[in-house]
Amino acid sequence: MASAELVPISDSQLKRATTTVVPVSQETPSFIIDSKNKSYKHQYSNIYFLRLLALRDSVIQAASKRWDNLPGSPTFVSRVLEVEPSQLCYIVGTVYMDMPLKPNVMEDIAQDHSIPAPPPPPYYYSAEDQVMLEDESGRIELVGERLKTEKLVTGLIIGALGMETTDGKFEVADICYAGLAPQPQAVITQESEDQMEVDSPNTEDLPTDEWIGVVSGLQIGEASSTDGQIQLLVEYLTGEGGGLDDQLSAARISRLIIVGDSLAPMIITGKGDADAEGDIKKSRKFGYDGTTFSTHPTESLSGVLLDIGQVMPIHLLPGATDPSGTILPQQPLPRAMFGAISSFPSFSCETNPTYLSLSSNSSPTPRVFLLHSGQPVNDMFKYLPSPPHTRLSIVESSLKWRHIAPTAPDTLWCHPYSTADPFLIKETPDLYIVGGQKKFMTKMVEDDGKDDGIQKRCRLLLVPEFYRTGIFVLVNIRTLRVKTVMFRGEGMSGGMSDYLDTEEASDTELKNLAEPESSIPHSSNTSILL
Amino acid sequence: MPAALKNKKQTTLNFGSSKPSPVATGKKPRLSGKGGKPVESSEIDEYSSPSDQSEEIEVEQVGSKRKRTDTRSRVNTNEKEEQTKTSTKERLELQKKAEQIKSPAKERPELKVNDSRWKKVATRARETNGNLQLIHAEKQNRIHDILRVFDLTYNYGPCIGISRIDRWERAQALGLNPPSEIRDILLTRQGIEDTTYAQNVFFDQAERV
């Protein structure tokens, strides 16, 4: 099959690459909420308890490795409230950030309803923030210069080294996290393959490699139409558009993953609520009011999915603007919504976030993908001042914290779990994809395994919104290298002009982030200009 | 004869599955069905004979479930219900404990407050409170003490918003080793029906949902 495809003379012999979905491991949590778990009676305190219990041992281990040999021999104090003054020790607990700019239900109740409420601030950090460390016994305030440079959000499990000051606060000298979670599939890879063909940056992309396409933020139904760009994408994927090179590269794309925000947010004009009974009855047909609600975006999206779904498997995740619930984890969109494509078994609707495990001919060890539509990262970003911290560094830290969404349930709405916290990362995935971002960014995070002898690596991928940037991302399933394809048109609407100005800036910014390897052939992306 | 037996066994299974769930909904549907339709009851009598034979066939597999059906002095129909249930669920023996929870409260053993089984847990509960004399606790017996200390032990997590048995199961699943006597107490008849035993101490103040 491989050699037949490489002959570029006749293009009728091109065949699409295939990858298969394999079941995920037993340890991987599922985000489906079925009728058994659908109770909202549980308190959110259960989530914090479960998180602390699950991560505490790992943090204690990491902390003791790091600090036990220091002069002064710090000891571990098991209850946060039992620290003694002027004794060097370390404690483990959950971080709570007390920020006056955070949305506060007390202020909501107390506010004056006769004047319109001020818009919520875009970020929560301010000079009056306080950091607390909490465990089952109580909480203690953390102070110190070290905290200003450290990246902390509510809900992390950390270990803090320091000593208690005279006024009962804990002065922090150092902070430690659990570190990357174990990666069972990395062990298999290292045992079975003699040369490290996956991880060395010098591997080339072979023509037999399978690629996975990832796109986010199609935002169909947007006020400024993006149909042209999306049509270009469809034609590229089906092999109808572009020249022979494009068809060759499109034939290697084995699967498409749409990571959220496929439908633009609906703006309800407010006409549909409480008028006289007679008015409502006249304008309603098929159960909805035609003047405020249009089915056109859904039908558009169904058409796009059908065109692509006839040639390759699709995974669709709901996002912040999609008609799925607002609390995490968002449940899969109902298949019946999409019409004809729902009869294709290769089309699957996933939860947000979700784990996916794919294997292919070139990579028989399944690659584990962790995907979500960006709500956790966008929420964490509000806690941290931006110039020293970037979204990429936040995603990298969330792997080290072993938690996808630490700010749930504090500022990020989530389901009240009582028996297990599924947002914990128990096994580091091979690929961590975050959708709904402003810029394309990628990095390979590596752990050389000093602590437990296993080398781990994970490719982070931040996928920008397609309707603004026109960027479509490709990932090589064997080498985990990344390519982008940009779709833009002269004179085409869809907000492309904003991005064209900032394109230079994003290139230079990527270079300044000092990506450690050359596996982003970003400058060689193909642009399809029509 | 074997064919006839097989046929009857199949129809027995169908009959069992078309009934409402034999466990949770109590006895009312079956009894009214039995009283109201004499034809049906005669069919029931007919079916009981092959099911007796099937009962013998399955006796070695079903083990403790047989004991459960024997201790109940119920009419034929209920025994038959149990047998069809066990025959369809015999592969779920691992979920035996879960089924015990779901079975109706009336069939659970009675709770003896002064049972010697609770002695160790009760003394441990008093010790955690420093052996203090409790004020305003005239109506609370040692079972209430044991369960209250279980609620307030923060090792097992927050007690609010979750029933005691669910919290015990969760603590067990997380490997925290809660005392097994507490589970036995919570699975007795009073442990299920009486909210002062089944729910946490703050239930009537904080949690009327």
Do A170 and A269 sit in the same domain of this protein?
no
Within a domain: A463:
yes
Q: What's the CATH code of the domain at A170?
A: 2.40.50.430
Residues of A in contact with B162 (CB under 8 A): 42-43, 46, 418
CA distances from A212 to A352, A431, A488, A519 (A): 18, 11, 21, 16
Pair (A474, A519) in one structural domain: yes
Is residue A10 domain-resident? Answer: no
SS3 content of chain A, % helix, strand, coil (to 5): 30, 25, 50
- The residue from A176, A206, A222 where one domain ends is A176
Nearest-CA neighbor of A242 among A491, A13, A492, A486? A486
In this structure, are residues A31 and A351 in contact, taking their beta carbons and an 8 Å threshold? yes
Q: Which domain does A158 fall in, by range?
A: 45-109+118-176
List all residues of chain A from 133 to 172 with a beta carbon under 8 Å from chain B: 136-137
User: The tokens of A440 are what?
Assistant: 């394309």
Interval A163-170 mean pLDDT: 89
Cβ separation A49–B166 shorter than 8 A: no
Segment A203-207 shows an average pLDDT of 74
Higher pLDDT, B78 or A450: A450
pLDDT digits (tens, 9 = 90+) for A352-403: 899 999 988 887 888 899 999 999 999 999 888 878 888 999 999 999 999 9
Which residues of chain B does A37 touch, with a Cβ-Cβ cutoff of 8 Å?
Answer: none
What's the DSSP call for residue A338? G
Asked if A46 lies within 8 A of B162 by C-beta distance, the reply is yes
Residue A345, pLDDT > 80, answer yes
Task: List pLDDT tens digits, range B18-62.
Answer: 444 444 444 444 434 343 344 433 433 434 344 444 444 444 444
Are residues A259 and A144 located together in one domain of the fold?
A: no
Alpha carbon distances (Å) from B37 to A44, B25, B44, B45: 51, 20, 11, 13
Which CATH number belongs to the domain containing residue A445 in this structure? 3.60.21.50
How many contacts does A have with B, using Cβ atoms within 8 A?
30
pLDDT at A259: 94
Same domain, A326 and A368: yes
Same domain for A60 and A34: no
- What CA–CA distance (Å, rounded) separates A404 from A354? 11
Chain B 73-132, residues with CB within 8 Å of chain A CB atoms: none
Residues A150 and A220 both lie in one domain: no
Across chain A, mean pLDDT equals: 80
What's the confidence (pLDDT) of residue A500?
41
**Is residue A16 in a domain?**
no
B160 touches chain A (CB under 8 A): yes
Residues of A whose CB is below 8 A from B154: 136-137
- Among the listed ranges A61-75, A133-147, A333-347, A502-516, which one has the minimum average pLDDT value? A502-516
pLDDT at A392: 92
- DSSP state letter for A448: -
Residue A306 has pLDDT above 90, yes or no: yes
Residue A288 belongs to a domain: yes
Task: Answer with the residue of higher pLDDT: A279 or A375.
Answer: A375
Give the nearest partner residue to B170 out of A43, A45, A419, using CB atoms: A419
pLDDT category of residue A284 using cuts at 50, 70 and 90:
low
**Least confident segment among A108-117, A418-427, B126-135, B143-152:** A108-117
Mean pLDDT check: name the lowest of A191-205, A305-319, B62-76.
B62-76
* Among candidate residues A50, A2, A19, A11, the one with its CA nearest the CA of residue A313: A19
Is A9 a member of any domain?
no
Rounded to whole angstroms, the Cα distance separating B72 from B107 reads 8
Report the predicted TM-score, pTM, of the whole model to 2 decimal places: 0.74
pLDDT tens-digit map of A181-203:
888 876 655 555 443 444 444 46
Q: Could you tell me the two tokens for A281?
A: 């009855």
Tokens linked to B49: 């004979």
Q: Give the least confident one: A9-13, A50-54, B192-196.
A: A9-13
Q: Are residues A143 and A259 in the same domain?
A: no
Asked if A145 and A287 sit in the same domain, the reply is no
Q: Is residue A15 part of a domain?
A: no
Q: Which of A152, A176, A200 is the last residue of a domain?
A: A176
Q: Are both A243 and A151 inside the same structural domain?
A: no
Q: Does B175 reach chain A within 8 Å, measured CB to CB? A: no
Q: Tell me, yes or no, if A36 comes closer than 8 A to chain B by beta carbon.
A: no
Calculate mean pLDDT across residues A335-360: 91
Q: Is the peptide bond before A71 cis (omega within 30 degrees of 0)?
A: no
Q: Are residues A160 and A271 in the same domain?
A: no
- Asked if residue A300 and residue A220 are part of one domain, the reply reads yes
Which residues, 6+ apart, have CB-to-CB distance to B126 below 8 Å? B145
A213-237 confidence digits (pLDDT tens): 999 998 888 666 778 888 889 999 9
The total number of residues shown for chain B amounts to 209
Look at A402 and A284; give whichever has higher pLDDT.
A402
The answer, yes or no, to whether residue A494 has pLDDT greater than 70, is: no
Contact B161 A41 (CB under 8 A): yes
Provide ipTM, 2 decimals: 0.74
Domain count across chain A: 2
The per-residue pLDDT for B76 is 47
Q: Which of A176, A198, A221 lies at the terminal end of a domain, its last residue?
A: A176
Asked if the structure places residue A13 within a domain, the reply is: no
Same domain, A95 and A193: no
Confidence (pLDDT) at A365:
85
Per-residue pLDDT tens for A246-267?
A: 888 888 899 999 998 888 887 7
Using only the alpha carbons of chain A, give its radius of gyration: 25
Measure CA of the first residue to CA of the last residue in chain B; give whole Å.
Answer: 58
Which residue, chain included where needed, has tokens 């949305």?
A103
Q: Is residue A1 part of a domain?
A: no
